[in-house]
Structure formats: structure tokens, C-alpha cells
Amino acid sequence: MRLVLVLGDQLSPNLSALRKCDKANDVVVMAEVADEASYVPHHPKKIAFLFAAMRKFADQLRADGWQVAYTRLDDPDNTGSITGELIRRASEHKAAGVVYTEPGEWRLIAALGDMPLQSHSLPDDRFIASHADFAAWAEGRKQLRMEYFYRDMRRKTGLLMDGDQPEGGKWNYDHDNRKPAPDSVDYAGPMQFAPDHSVEEVLDLVARRFGNNFGDLRPFWLATDTGQARQHLAHWIKGGLPKFGDYQDAMLNDHKFLYHGIVGLYLNAGLLDPLEVCQAAEAAYRAGNAPLNAVEGFIRQIIGWREYVRGIYFREGPDYVSRNALGHTAKLPAMYWGAPTKMNCIAKAVDQTKTEAYAHHIQRLMVTGNFALLAGIAPAAVHEWYLAVYADAYEWVEAPNVIGMSLFADGGIIASKPYISSGNYIHKMSDYCGSCAYRVQDKTGVDACPFNLLYWHFLDRHRDRFKGNPRMGQMYAVWDKMDPARRDQVLSEAADFLSRMDAGAPV
């Protein structure tokens, strides 16, 4: 007999390792281990979501006829690591070896590869593009632009295709998806599930063991099995998808979720299948229940961005997470862990991260990410923060978004120019600035929005690298035209802000 490893983000009945094995002879191993739960200080909601979903998935496998050796975090024999549990179970069951589906993190791939057990790794085929597909697409290209990869994925899946042409005549309707924040939101947000007894048990465990981590454990309302995740998906397709596109980039003080899908955590843990989710969205479009800009935008995020960043993570290799092309070294300020800040946009994004283990894409990219980039915070610290605080965060998807898209620390593999903006962008897309202690209109002075100061400071200190970038020439032209005395004032106020922040003063 063999052991079949099922990791916490592999909760899919058609997992390649399960398909390969035989429920009559082989034993599934699942384990809640301290190493995985604490190698970064994960948000308690994220840990609870995964443990609760793992326990339910193990029950489902048993009901399907599998023998499951499940280790709970507080089992006295728990060795504390995935490899430790495999070695223990192998001797208990006299197993000939271990079959597993490739993990989504280099750290775990290396650990499993080094195990003193005969092991067989299978590709994770819950994705649309295999590593070989991505390598073939990337081969010989000077620039790996997501848009072209995405078109191939549309052709491959047939999603939103009209013969060999894109539905509606255009591949991308992003142009229609940048409306500023609406006055009111007519979608109540994600479907919420009251914790049942098994979830409550996990919540008590997580409160005991991880209660001091950043993040609120309760109220806990996440789906913890595929049935619930599908109910949530149907609820969102009806109520949220129609306006998802229009307000995809908007941010509001009083709406944490707006029209977003909140499906990332379910997709990444394996409770939902990416193709199933996209087909459900396409069906809504075909039935006339959702417009093309919303459905195309959503499908592009999943078969485009999600697959593309995974391709980059595996193509670039284990050192990707430690890249720091811009040489940034500042400490991550305490406001990222909930310490007071006068910047309302940061306070709001961090606060909902704390309560929900969630912030949407533009909050991650243009608020917390933009600030970290402008302020020169060390990419490794920012990477660790994002990996810890979001319920959907796993290294294969988080690292390319943080190191590559948000911080330009990979030197421009993912982004052709840094995603930076002054306060103006946040002001246009949100209602944050109206209730901020800083003034977004002020470019200098004690009340000036820090994004306004830091934006120019960033451009100035990285002039050598970015001056020649054709997409940034306009920014430098504006800076160079500014009165020299004013330029000096901006730079000195920005430097003062950064040194106060570095000294730990609330900013």
C-alpha cells in the first residue's frame, strides 16, 4: 500500500494524487501541523478556514470509501511537520511509498523531495496551463505580457469564444471597468454560513493556539466545503457579477466587498474549480443576466491573471521571493499590523484585512502595495505580510503579485512599469480622502497627502532606472518642469515623513 498526501489547499476530489491511487489499498494522509500553521503568522481566520475545510474533506473522503489517517493539531503524536507525519504514518501502515500532488510552494516541494521515503510527485492539473504549457508560451518571448497568454487560455478553454474570435469582437473590456465608487451598492456581499459543530471545534482550537496572531477569528462565516462554496458562487453570480466589472477598481469606506466575487480562497484551497467558476459566469452572460464587460473581466482574472502568475512563480524559481531589484530596505511600519495611522485609506484597508482576512485587488495594489513601494519597504517583509494576512494567500499566487506586480522587485518581469500613484488615484476611485486627516489636494505642507510626497520621492530616487521607460516619460517631464524650490520642498518633506515613519512615529 501507499500513502496519498492531501495538503490543506488540495481539497479537490479529482486531485491527481487521489486519481492515481486506490481507495481499497492506499491510505490518505492529512495533517494539521504547526510548521505549516506558523511559518508566517497566518491570520486566525485563514487557519480556521483551512482546518475546518480539511476536516470536512477528510469526512467526505471516508464517506467515499477512503481510509484517511488524519492528524489534528493537538493530537499528542503530532510531529509538527508534513514530512514528519508522512514518516510516522509510513511506519504505522508499513507503506511502500508516498504519492502526492505537487505543492504550490518551493519550500514544501524541497521538503518532500528530501524525505527519506520513496515518493512520487504528480502535476497539479487543477490549473488550465501546465508548467510545460507556460514554458512553451514563454519560450523566445522578450516580454511575458499577460494579455497574450490570456488569449491563448481563451482559445484553449473556449470560454467567451465565438468560433475562433472573441465574443463581442474584443478580447478585453477593461476600458469599461474603471468606474469610480458608486453612491450606493445594491449587493449585500458574500453569502455567510453559521459555523456548525465541527467548525466551532476548530474555532476553539485556533483561538487557543493562534489567538495572538493579527486578525479577528470571529465572527466566522466562511464556506468550509464545496457545497457551501457553490451556494456562495451562485448567490454572487446573481447579485454581484452584473456590476463586478463596472466597479472592480472602486473602494468605499462602508463596503468591504462591493461587487467582488470572494472566490479566491475557495479556488485556491480546491473547494471550487476554476473552469466551473468561469463557466458559471459565462452562462450568466449567455442567459442575458450579466454584461460582457463584467463576465470577460472576471474570466480574465481567473484564466488570465491567476494562471499567469502561477506560471511566473514556477518559471522563476525559489529565489523569486527574495528579489529586491529596487534595493528597498525600510521596515514594515506597525500600521500594517493595525497600529494607528492618520492615512484613512491605509487604516481602512488594514482594518478590513484584520476583520475579514480580505481586501480586494485595488486595495492590495493601489493602497497597501502602492504605499509599500513608494515608501521603499523591504520586499521580503511586505511579501511575508501579504502571505500571512489574506485567507487566499499561498506563495505561488501571492509572491508574483507582491514581489512582481506590486513592488517591481523582480525588475519588471510582470509589470512593465511600477504601479505607483499619488493620492489622486485613490481620491478618484474611493470615498476615503473625504474622511482623512491629510488633504489629498495638498502637494506640500503639514497636511499634504503622504502619497503625493512619496510619489515624487520615488520617481526622483529611481530616476536612473525609470527615466528611459517610455511609459514613464510623461511623469518625469512633469517633475522636471516643476519649480526647483518646490521640488526641494517635496523631497525634503518626503524624507522627513520617511524618517518619522522609520523611527516608529504614527504617520
Ligand X SMILES: Cc1cc2nc3c(=O)[nH]c(=O)nc-3n(C[C@H](O)[C@H](O)[C@H](O)COP(=O)(O)OP(=O)(O)OC[C@H]3O[C@@H](n4cnc5c(N)ncnc54)[C@H](O)[C@@H]3O)c2cc1C
> Interface with ligand X includes 306 (CB under 6 A)?
yes
422 binds ligand X (CB under 6 A): no
* Of the residues 202, 309, 436, 494, which one makes contact with ligand SF4 according to CB under 6 A: 436
Q: Are 494 and 454 in contact (CB under 8 A)?
A: yes
Among 303, 343, 378, 429, indicate the residue that binds ligand SF4 (CB under 6 A). 343
What is the rounded distance in angstroms from the CA atom of residue 297 to the CA atom of residue 383?
26
Which one, 10 or 368, has the nearer CB to ligand SF4?
Answer: 368
**Residue 432 touches which of ligand X, ligand SF4, none (Cβ within 5-8 Å per kind):** ligand SF4
User: Does residue number 237 form part of the binding site for ligand SF4 (CB under 6 A)?
Assistant: no
- Among 458, 433, 457, residue whose Cα is nearest residue 447: 433
Nearest approach, Cβ of residue 351 and ligand SF4 (Å) = 13
Using CB atoms within 10 Å of the CB of residue 294, give its burial: 0 to 12 exposed, 13 to 18 middle, 19+ buried: buried
Distance CA 221, CA 217 (A): 10
**Out of ligand X, ligand SF4, none, which partner does residue 449 contact, by CB within 5 to 8 A per kind?**
ligand SF4
Would you say 250 or 426 has its CB closer to ligand SF4? 426
42 binds, among ligand SF4, ligand X, none (CB under 5 to 8 A by kind): none
Going from the C-alpha of 243 to that of each of 247, 260, 269, 290, 296, the distances in angstroms are 6, 9, 26, 8, 12
Identify which of residues 84 and 418 has a Cβ nearer to ligand X in the complex. Answer: 418
Phi and psi at residue 59, to the nearest 5°: -60, -40
Rounded (to 5) percent helix, strand, coil in the chain: 50, 5, 40
| One character per residue 380-409, x = contact with ligand X (rule: CB under 6 A) | ------x---x-xx---xx--xx--xx---
* 49 or 451: CB nearest ligand SF4: 451
Binding mask 233-262 toward ligand X (x if CB under 6 A, else -) reads ---------------------------xxx
Q: Binding of ligand SF4 at residue 451 (CB under 6 A)?
A: yes
**Residue 41 carries which side chain, given as an amino acid letter?**
P
Binding-residue pattern over the window 261 to 300 for ligand X, x denoting contact by CB under 6 A? xxxx--xx-----------------------------x--
Binding positions for ligand SF4, 412-431, rule CB under 6 A: 423, 426-427
| CB crowding 393-432: b at 16 or more within 10 Å, else e | bbbbbbbbbbbbbbbbbbebbbeeebbbbbbebbbebbbb
C-beta of 335: minimal distance to ligand SF4 in Å? 11
SS3 label, residue 5? strand
Site for ligand SF4 contains 7 (CB under 6 A): no
* Residue 360 binds to ligand X (criterion: CB under 6 A): yes
Among 27, 73, 335, 345, binds ligand SF4 (CB under 6 A): 345
Q: Which pairs with CB-CB distance under 8 Å and at least 24 residues apart come from 312-315?
A: 312/144, 312/400, 312/404, 312/413, 312/414, 313/395, 313/396, 313/397, 313/399, 313/400, 314/131, 314/134, 314/396, 315/131, 315/134, 315/135, 315/138
Which residues sit at the interface with ligand SF4, rule CB under 6 A?
343-345, 423, 426-427, 432-433, 436, 438, 440, 449-451
